[in-house]
Structure 1
Amino acid sequence: MKISLNWLKEYIDLNQSPEELGKILTDTGLEVEGLDPFEQVPGGLKGLVVGEVLTCVPHSNADKLKVTTVDLGGEAPTQIVCGAPNVAQGQKVIVATVGATLYPEGHAPFQIKKAKIRGEVSEGMICAEDEIGLGKSHAGIMVLDTDLPNGTPAAEYFDLTDDTIIEIGLTPNRADAASHIGVARDLKAALKQDIKWPDVSAFSVDNTNSKITVSIENEEACPRYSGVSISNVTVKESPEWLQVKLKTLGLEPINNVVDITNFVLHETGQPLHAFDASQIKGDKVVVKTLTEGSKFTTLDDKERKLKATDLMICDGEGNGMCIAGVFGGKGSGVKESTTDVFLESAYFSPDYIRKTAQHHQLKTDASFRYERGTDPNITVYALKRATLLIKELAGGEISSEITDIYPTPIEDFKVPVKYKNIHRLIGKDIDKDRIKEILTLLDIKITEETEDSFLALVPPFRVDVQREADIVEEILRVYGFNNVDLPDHVQSDYLAEFPASDKDKIQKTITEMLVSQGYYEILTNSLTKPQYAANAPELDEKESVQILNKLSEDLAVLRQSLLHTGLEVAAYNINRRQSNLKLFEFGKSYFHIEDSYVEKQKLAIYLTGDIESENWINKSRKVTFQDLYQTVTSVISRLIAKEVTTDVTHDSPFAYGLVIKLGQKELAKIGKVNASTCKKAGIKQEVFYAEIDWNLLMKKASNSVTFEEVSKFPEVRRDLSLVIDKKVTFEEIKALATGKNQKFIKAINVFDVYEGENIGEDKKAYAINFTLEDKEKTLTDKVIDKTMNNLIRLFENNLNAIIRK
């Protein structure tokens, strides 16, 4: 947001330098991002002075040139060769001296140098208005009517003043500061200076000839609407001072009436809109919504289809004239032929304006303020201010009383505040009188005051101050963050958990590990379709977090699982012949449980297609459950040294899978996504998916390193082939093999699985190797045989296993 320092000084007395003001504003929460000099005319007319033509004779070697001597206030006159047809002796003119740089209209700048023109010395240039950037005329030199001494700087003659543009990085909550008076309010509190509001007491109605009436059909969208009629105006170019005001902010002047509405907007923060009264059919203004799909042509000559929620300003016949608070219509705006004006000043609901501006992709100065929240109590003041300016600059008469429809006035926010909480949150005891002074300077009233507390009445234009903590923040930003001393010992009312591990560093480590294994990181939208929760058995539709200002039905809720948005990515790639995918995503899932909202950080991993591409050594191989299981266990083992357990699951969305537990807590789910879920996503190939509870993993992650000395004694490998029931899992075999009495079993591994007619319909065969080791001595055949026989008995007795020999 741009603020003109010269303009700002019209509302509050300031003697600080721009740099000092920048620091003050930044300290109060209006961060100054830049201080840029502004020149009313390019170059500021530096090196240009008022001169007087003493002599003017024809050039001896050029018919169209003249040789002049010009008094520039120096000891001797200066000779200048001039080609203008109107140059003559006795004229007061503008002269660009040697070394000055000119910025001619529509041309590149150039520097004046001493030169010889057709044999005559020329030490300067007598200027036309287009040559110095003051206009477009090149018919001849500028002839001045002035008594100023020769040598007077041209900037002084034209009353040019330098300005500084303050660039403020306005945060979304500070809509109250989106104007010059809004910024002056903060300076008022910081500097204890009064604000000089422009006087509107001269406002008076000339006649009541205008018959335009106003009706509001949607009071929720338009709580307040004010308007007035002005007749017999003359629409023309704005005066220089008004054009300069707008140009300093980067705005292009249009005409005096429209420029005044823009001026008042940037002065007070209240958007206005001027209608050509002759285009208001039926002499009636109606604030309402139109039917879905209605067409409306805006000022930029684009035809737009309206939504049923778009608030419109219509005429008596129901024709749209303006998209309320966003953009005007092509036919109803003020133009050169306009003689009668209806001026609008309203307060519109931020929710309605935000949705409309977003839908039509229209970001205007008006919508910027309306969608953040304007002051509902300033509409009439802004209307009077603009009307008086229109009478001054465009003539005419005020031809109606002010119409002000405000059925339900918006009250001040009532915020109970306790002094002890102010001191606790700031970390310093501030004198009560200073607290009350700050709040009063911020236009916040104090009522129901006791020794320990008070009730703060916050004006509606401060939409961001509605809680006790907000009041404390207001006090602190004016009191000064830098005035709160750092204590010798840092303390807090509560202690958060400060993990030894750097979560960002750990996430980066796992990201690099997965990428090194050929995975690609994806980032999907947290907003998703409500159908996912409605149709997925594993999700509860009632726990979906609904978006109040949803942009579309496809983005209506926050996701409960990363699975479905990841499947969208997979389907997109598969449809473009990229079917071999290894993907992962760090993201959050969201739940509305009873009266609270819960966020859970997850790591999702997806595998589909071929795990290995075909080459001259190997054939291509499809991904399997084990491929994903290996990735998941490598992630877990990279961060925690504790043993995990697994349980088989067939719960949706998996056709089959495992639940990995850390103690009694569920750490991860991994499995093959069932075919119906894939089909809904438009995927015909197998997809394997894992979802890791990243918060739990971070809580248990450790920086400690576990190691053991390399054994001095050799390992021994023995193999067994077991025929078991299909329902028996490897985890059950592993638990028996590594039980308390099996101290020599270091590791077990399945190296072959067989299912077929030779072993029975409900059977499967596992070929397993066992690694045995004694850390204290070399294993003997007797001990090895005893260990293996114990395993055989365990498997036969507990699993009804048949040992194949």
Structure 2
Amino acid sequence: MKISYNQLKQYIDIDLKPEELSKILTDIGLEVEGLEEFESVKGGLEGLVIGEVKTCEKHPNADKLSVTTVDVGTGELLPIVCGAPNVAAGQKVIVATVGTTLYDGDNDFKIKKGKIRGEVSLGMICAEDEIGLGNSHDGILVLPEDVKTGTLAKDYFEIEKDTIFEIGLTPNRADGASHLGVARDLLAYFKHIGKNVELKKPDVSKFKVDNNNLQISVEIENNEACKRYSGVTISGIEIKESPEWLQTRLKAIGLQPINNVVDITNFVLHETGQPLHAFDADMIKGNKVIVKTLENETTFKTLDEEDRKLHSEDLMICNSEEGMCIAGVFGGAESGVSGKTKNIFLESAYFNPVWVRKTSKRHALQTDSSFRFERGVDPNNTIYALKRAALLIKEIAGGSISSEIIDIYPEPIKDFKFDVLYSHIDRLIGKKIEHNVIDNILDALEIKIVDRADDRITVEVPPYRVDVTREADIIEEILRIYGYNNIASSNSVKSTLSYAPKPDANKLKNIVSEFLSSQGFSEAMSNSLTKGKYYETENGFNEEQSVKILNALSIDLNVMRQDLLFGSLEAVIRNINFRNTDIKLYEFGQTYKFEKTESDNPLNSYKEEQHLAITVSGNKTPVNWNTPEAKTDFYYLKSHIESIFKRLNFDTEKMKSEETDRDIFAYGIKHSINNKTLVEIGRVSNKYLSVFGIEQEVFYADINWDNVIKYLPETPKFKVISKFPAVKRDLALLLNKDVKFAQIQELAYKTEKKLLKNVSIFDVFEDEKLGENKKSYAVSFIIQDETKTLKDKQIDKIMKKLQYTFEKELGAELR
């Protein structure tokens, strides 16, 4: 955001240099990212002087050129060849002498001594567009006769020089998105340090209605999206160029002048922070403004001549027949101010920030108005900004205010009230600040203290401070004005030593359950009693390990389950039969096995384990108009499993990964630590799916929860992020098809234990051209030293060592 130093001084008396003010702004939370020097005319008219044309004759060798002699006050006449049709003897003109640099947009050129068609020329007589004083190139700029010859052009035209603050405004500080907003913060700071300053807000008391000749009615159909809407009509205006001072103000902050009315709305926006919009009143059909939404896919042409398809939740400013403006975002091509406009309707409103933000993102339209509306403007500032703009329009464009101000504000937004404890202020700041100092800071920030007690104050925060909603925010406001640098560091460190006990199993279950539920999974609960035929030997289970039930209720409930798989598959087919084919389930449950031991206690032969089963099938998300079909797959399930382990602080890259040989999987992998299986993941074999009549793919993960608890990492250890850069290198390896990525990963970490931080695969390619039973892995390696910046020689040495290892151990070839 750009703020003009000169304009800022109009609202508050500042006797500081821009560099000094820059530091203050940064200290109070409006970080100045840079200072930029600005001149109302680029180059400041340096080298340009006012001269008098003494003689003017036709060029002997060119019909359209003249040969002149010009007095520039040096005592010598300069011969200058000029091509302007209006040049004549006796004129006072602007002369660019030899060595002067002139600017044409971003380009520049230097005036040199030369010959034009054989005649010597020692300068140039300038047109207004050649020196940045206008747009006309019809002829040279002729000045009044009484101007003194030899006067420097920069003195005659009084070139304005300014310093522009580039402020990195944080999203919560919408109140600072204007010159008056910045001045208001400076006022609080200067008052705190004892300076007697006041905020000189432009006076709007002269606003009055001239007549009632142009009436526009307003109706708000959507009060949620539009909390307040104000407007006024102005008739008989003349659209033309803005005066020089207004153009300079806009150019200083990076805006291009358009015409007087549009320039005024932009100026008031950057002055007050309140966006405004001017409609051509003659284009408002039915003399009625309606704030509402339109049907989805309605076509609307915006000011940039783009036809946009509206969303049903895009708030629109409409007339009695059609849309005129996307509220708070962008105007329409048909209703905007043009050179033919004579009457306008001026809008000043408060639109719901959420609605504006969503519309702005939907249409990829980021404007100065949407920037402020989506952060939250002052709902109680609409009338002031409206009057300010109307008075400027009358002054610059003429016309009459032709209606009373329309102001629809059904539910005024009130100040936000809450308590602040003095003890909390002292504790968070780390220093006791006198109560009267706190009172003065809050008063300067326009935060009212409406009640007080010995231990607290009750404050009311104005609606434009959308970032101040709780006690901690008030303390931050006090501290930024009081000064962070005024809080001395304590000589002692006060801390509480504590330890983090290992979470119990139930707490860990809740962590995982909440994560899976947040990802769209549903928890299942299946019966621990199940069918014995599931665990027959031909199904890949050891039938002798089944825990049989004596006097079973039925043949379908005659054993304890060895695995959670079959309960999960029963749930899958039940959902499919109910036409729910997109399935994401998880279940915590016990499994039971009989493993005969030599112990005298028969109970020791029974083994009970806790497992977590996760099952996915069908689409990842329900298919709808904007979400195409995307099937679940092995990698989809694997990513969720790895997320679970990372959530439990496991280093998944240090787990051993290998192919699983369990019969229940058509293919899959298992992760283990210390040769103890943590999880097995894969696609369920068709042999098992056919038992249940399931025809769609099912992916299943079996997590041994007891092993997870056993090998759970201790309290996570934190380390400082290295300030030295990490280096990424890639290898494309040609390998036999039976080589797994896990082998590459394991070998890489063994080969370079200290500096290798990550090994990942980003492409797998198989083709007959590679050779029989061959495939290509594209593997990425992250290398980093925590103590210094790596040099190319070190990196190359590591990569050669890795390449040699892969060639020797895996028979790899570098592609």
Q: TM-score, normalised by structure 2?
A: 0.65
Call closer, same or farther: CA 1:469–1:670 in 2, change over 3 Å.
farther
> Counterpart of 1:269 in structure 2: which amino acid?
G
State yes or no: 1:348 paired with 2:345: no
Q: Is the 8 A contact 1:611 1:623 kept in 2?
A: no
Shift of 1:21: 1.7
Distance 1:227 1:691 in 2: 68
Counterpart of 2:250 in structure 1 is 246
- Aligned mate of 2:204, from 191, 200, 223: 200
Counterpart of 1:259 in structure 2 is 263
Distance 2:35 2:696 in 1: 56
- Aligned mate of 1:273, from 274, 277, 295: 277
Counterpart of 1:161 in structure 2 is 160
Shift of 1:254: 2.3
Call closer, same or farther: CA 1:469–1:698 in 2, change over 3 Å.
farther
Shift of 1:581: 11
Distance 1:120 1:562 in 2: 92
Shift of 1:40: 2.4
Counterpart of 1:184 in structure 2 is 183
Counterpart of 1:215 in structure 2 is 219
> Counterpart of 1:376 in structure 2: which amino acid?
P
Q: Is the 8 A contact 1:584 1:606 kept in 2?
A: no
Counterpart of 2:101 in structure 1 is 101
Counterpart of 1:124 in structure 2 is 123
Call closer, same or farther: CA 1:205–1:536 in 2, change over 3 Å.
farther
State yes or no: 1:404 paired with 2:392: no
Shift of 1:180: 1.0
Call closer, same or farther: CA 1:390–1:695 in 2, change over 3 Å.
farther
Structure 2: 5+ residue runs without aligned partners? 192-196, 502-513, 527-583, 588-612, 622-626, 719-815
Q: How does 1:48-127 map to 2 (within 5 A)?
A: 48-57=48-57, 65-104=65-104, 108-117=107-116, 121-127=120-126
Distance 1:70 1:151 in 2: 11
Call closer, same or farther: CA 1:321–1:67 in 2, change over 3 Å.
closer
SS in 2 for 1:140: coil
Call closer, same or farther: CA 1:611–1:443 in 2, change over 3 Å.
same
Counterpart of 2:562 in structure 1 is none
SS in 2 for 1:226: strand
Shift of 1:564: 7.7
Q: Is the 8 A contact 2:665 2:683 kept in 1?
A: no
SS in 1 for 2:160: coil
Q: Is the 8 A contact 2:617 2:699 kept in 1?
A: no
Q: Is the 8 A contact 1:231 1:339 kept in 2?
A: yes
SS in 1 for 2:29: coil
Distance 1:678 1:398 in 2: 79
Shift of 1:201: 0.6
Q: Is the 8 A contact 1:606 1:687 kept in 2?
A: no
> Counterpart of 1:369 in structure 2: which amino acid?
R
> Counterpart of 1:393 in structure 2: which amino acid?
I
Distance 2:309 2:88 in 1: 62
Counterpart of 1:488 in structure 2 is 491
Call closer, same or farther: CA 1:135–1:420 in 2, change over 3 Å.
same
Shift of 1:283: 2.0
> Counterpart of 1:44 in structure 2: which amino acid?
G
SS in 2 for 1:203: coil
> Counterpart of 2:357 in structure 1: which amino acid?
R
SS in 1 for 2:23: helix
- Aligned mate of 1:360, from 363, 387, 395: 363
Q: Is the 8 A contact 2:232 2:405 kept in 1?
A: yes
> After the TM superposition, which of the residue ranges 19-28 and 63-72 deviates more from structure 2?
63-72
Q: Is the 8 A contact 1:628 1:690 kept in 2?
A: no
Distance 1:432 1:128 in 2: 64
Q: How does 1:546-695 map to 2 (within 5 A)?
A: 628-629=669-670, 632-633=671-672, 660=678, 669-672=679-682, 674=684
Shift of 1:611: 6.7
Counterpart of 2:306 in structure 1 is 302
| Superimposed CA distance per residue, residues 137-166 of structure 1 (whole angstroms, 9 cap, x where no aligned partner) | 333322111644333322222232122221
Counterpart of 2:509 in structure 1 is none
Distance 1:353 1:406 in 2: 18
Q: How does 1:715-730 map to 2 (within 5 A)?
A: none
SS in 2 for 1:356: helix
Q: Is the 8 A contact 1:415 1:467 kept in 2?
A: yes
Distance 2:614 2:269 in 1: 45
Distance 2:515 2:159 in 1: 54
> After the TM superposition, which of the residue ranges 450-459 and 682-691 deviates more from structure 2?
682-691
SS in 2 for 1:358: helix
- Aligned mate of 2:520, from 525, 529, 532: 532
Q: Is the 8 A contact 1:602 1:691 kept in 2?
A: no
Q: Is the 8 A contact 1:45 1:155 kept in 2?
A: yes
Distance 1:696 1:491 in 2: 35
Counterpart of 2:230 in structure 1 is 226
Counterpart of 1:516 in structure 2 is none
Distance 1:249 1:395 in 2: 26
Counterpart of 1:734 in structure 2 is none
Q: Structure 1 vs Structure 2: percent identity of aligned residues?
A: 55
> Counterpart of 1:42 in structure 2: which amino acid?
K
Q: TM-score, normalised by structure 1?
A: 0.66
Shift of 1:62: 5.8
Call closer, same or farther: CA 1:694–1:128 in 2, change over 3 Å.
farther
> Counterpart of 1:283 in structure 2: which amino acid?
N
> Counterpart of 2:352 in structure 1: which amino acid?
S
Distance 1:239 1:197 in 2: 22
Distance 2:75 2:404 in 1: 65
> Counterpart of 2:73 in structure 1: which amino acid?
G
> Counterpart of 2:252 in structure 1: which amino acid?
T
Q: Is the 8 A contact 1:273 1:345 kept in 2?
A: yes
Call closer, same or farther: CA 1:288–1:139 in 2, change over 3 Å.
closer
Counterpart of 1:374 in structure 2 is 377
Q: Is the 8 A contact 1:604 1:690 kept in 2?
A: no
Q: Is the 8 A contact 2:667 2:683 kept in 1?
A: no
Q: Is the 8 A contact 1:279 1:331 kept in 2?
A: yes
Call closer, same or farther: CA 1:82–1:234 in 2, change over 3 Å.
closer
Call closer, same or farther: CA 1:623–1:346 in 2, change over 3 Å.
same
SS in 2 for 1:275: strand
SS in 1 for 2:375: coil
Q: Is the 8 A contact 1:587 1:601 kept in 2?
A: no
Call closer, same or farther: CA 1:457–1:83 in 2, change over 3 Å.
same
Counterpart of 1:289 in structure 2 is 293
Q: Is the 8 A contact 1:188 1:194 kept in 2?
A: yes
Q: How many residues align?
A: 602
Call closer, same or farther: CA 1:87–1:287 in 2, change over 3 Å.
closer
Structure 1: 5+ residue runs without aligned partners? 500-525, 539-556, 591-598, 613-620, 638-643, 647-659, 661-668, 704-805
- Aligned mate of 2:318, from 301, 314, 318: 314
Counterpart of 2:602 in structure 1 is none
Q: Is the 8 A contact 2:231 2:386 kept in 1?
A: yes
Call closer, same or farther: CA 1:147–1:299 in 2, change over 3 Å.
same
Counterpart of 2:393 in structure 1 is 390
Shift of 1:2: 1.4
Q: How does 1:361-510 map to 2 (within 5 A)?
A: 361-492=364-495
SS in 2 for 1:223: strand
SS in 1 for 2:393: helix
Q: Is the 8 A contact 1:586 1:601 kept in 2?
A: no
